[in-house]
Chain A
Amino acid sequence: MSTEAAHTDEAHATTGHYVRIAIVLTVLTILEVATYYVAIPFALLVPLLLVLAGTKFALVVAYYMHLRYDSKLFSGFFFFGFTIEILLLIALMVLFGIRSG
């Protein structure tokens, strides 16, 4: 990171900010684990868990990895790989789902 960019990060994220994000991540993890012990219909449980995991993923990438404040080129590199993977996952799940009837 350039010194200028580092200063920009400092302006946006402080130690308190990082700690607050850690608290949110902890609460989301507790909610995730709680779903294991509570009877929730499968059709509702899966989207709920994916939303919770997605929120944690987004918080870490945006704030701890600083993508929110950094160059869009970095986001491009990262999400290019991520998008390819999601497409691969959907394609193979559909393919194997059809194959196994």
Chain B
Amino acid sequence: MSDAAVAHEAQEEHPTSTGLNHRKILMWAFLGSECIFFGSLITTYLVYRGKSVVGPYPSEILNIPLTSISTFVLLMSSLAMVLALAGFERAASAGANEDRKRRELQKGRFWLLMTAVLGTGFLGFQAYEFIEFVHHGLGLTTNLFGTTFFVLTGFHGTHVGVGVLWLVSILVLSYFGKVKPLDVELGGLYWHFVDIVWIIIFTLIYLIPH
């Protein structure tokens, strides 16, 4: 193990005043602030809901079957993510049993890859939807619906994109032995968060009739 890796390990094992890992506390504080960020965008959408004076209107262009599939894809990515974490945790607790450790690590990597693939699939659905909307004449500045919709779902899609890059980087680093279960868990917390934000967006924008 390199000196840097030893120092990193020591830092993680260092006792804290709360007894909790500082990186994990930071992640939860960040997610709390993200609640406010997305909440503000959702609130803006709701405040201006139904106030567009020119079309196209949501009821004319929202594609519920397509978005239902993309919602399912994102939900399943959350399952893949939690299975990836379970694999990395079991590998870490395998101790001297190298065979089991390798097997669990492979499982963890597979599910991590599946999470990234499903996340990319979700982004593909979103890109298709955006292009369709533009073809129907709805742009960022067309009306209040266009502005609030593209800003909200665009920021969410950006978060998914960042999540995919994060997960791929964890996957690559795991082949160099530089990934601990905590690293996977922090990436997973972020990933589940973008999933729960979509749960709310799907209901408020797509399913509640306009």
A residues contacting B by CB (< 8 A) are 1-3, 6-7, 9-10, 15, 18-19, 21-22, 25-26, 29, 32-33, 35-36, 42, 45-46, 49-50, 52-53, 56-57, 60-61, 63-65, 71, 73-74, 77-82, 84-86, 88-89, 92-93, 96, 100
CB contacts (< 8 Å) of B207 on chain A: these are 32-33, 35-36, 49
B residues contacting A by CB (< 8 A) are 18, 20-21, 24-25, 28-29, 31-36, 38-40, 42-43, 46-47, 51, 64, 68, 71-72, 75-76, 78-79, 81-83, 86, 89-90, 92-93, 181-182, 185, 188-189, 192-193, 195-196, 199-200, 202-203, 207-209
Residue pair B40, A88 in contact (C-beta under 8 Å): yes
CA distance A19 to B111 in the complex (A): 13
Residue pair A65, B192 in contact (C-beta under 8 Å): yes
Residue pair A29, B43 in contact (C-beta under 8 Å): no
Q: Distance in Å from the Cβ of A35 to the closest Cβ of chain B?
A: 7
Say whether chain B's binding surface is mostly helix, strand, loop, or mixed.
helix
- 11 interchain pairs, CB-CB under 8 A: A2-B20, A57-B200, A64-B192, A64-B195, A74-B28, A78-B28, A79-B32, A82-B35, A84-B35, A85-B38, A86-B39
Q: Which residue of B is nearest A46, CB measured?
A: B208
CB contacts (< 8 Å) of B90 on chain A: these are 10
Residue pair A7, B93 in contact (C-beta under 8 Å): yes
Residue pair B75, A29 in contact (C-beta under 8 Å): yes
Given known contacts A1-B24, A33-B207, A53-B203, A19 and B64 CB-to-CB distance under 8 angstroms: no
Residue pair A29, B203 in contact (C-beta under 8 Å): no
Residue pair A93, B47 in contact (C-beta under 8 Å): yes
CA distance A89 to B28 in the complex (A): 21
Residue pair A78, B31 in contact (C-beta under 8 Å): yes
Q: Distance in Å from the Cβ of B66 to the closest Cβ of chain A?
A: 11
Residue pair B43, A81 in contact (C-beta under 8 Å): no
CA distance A52 to B43 in the complex (A): 20
B39 partner, pick from A25, A46, A79, A88, beta carbons under 8 A: A88
- What are the 8 tightest A-B residue pairs by CB atom distance, in nearest-first order? A85-B39, A81-B32, A81-B35, A53-B203, A22-B79, A77-B28, A74-B28, A89-B43
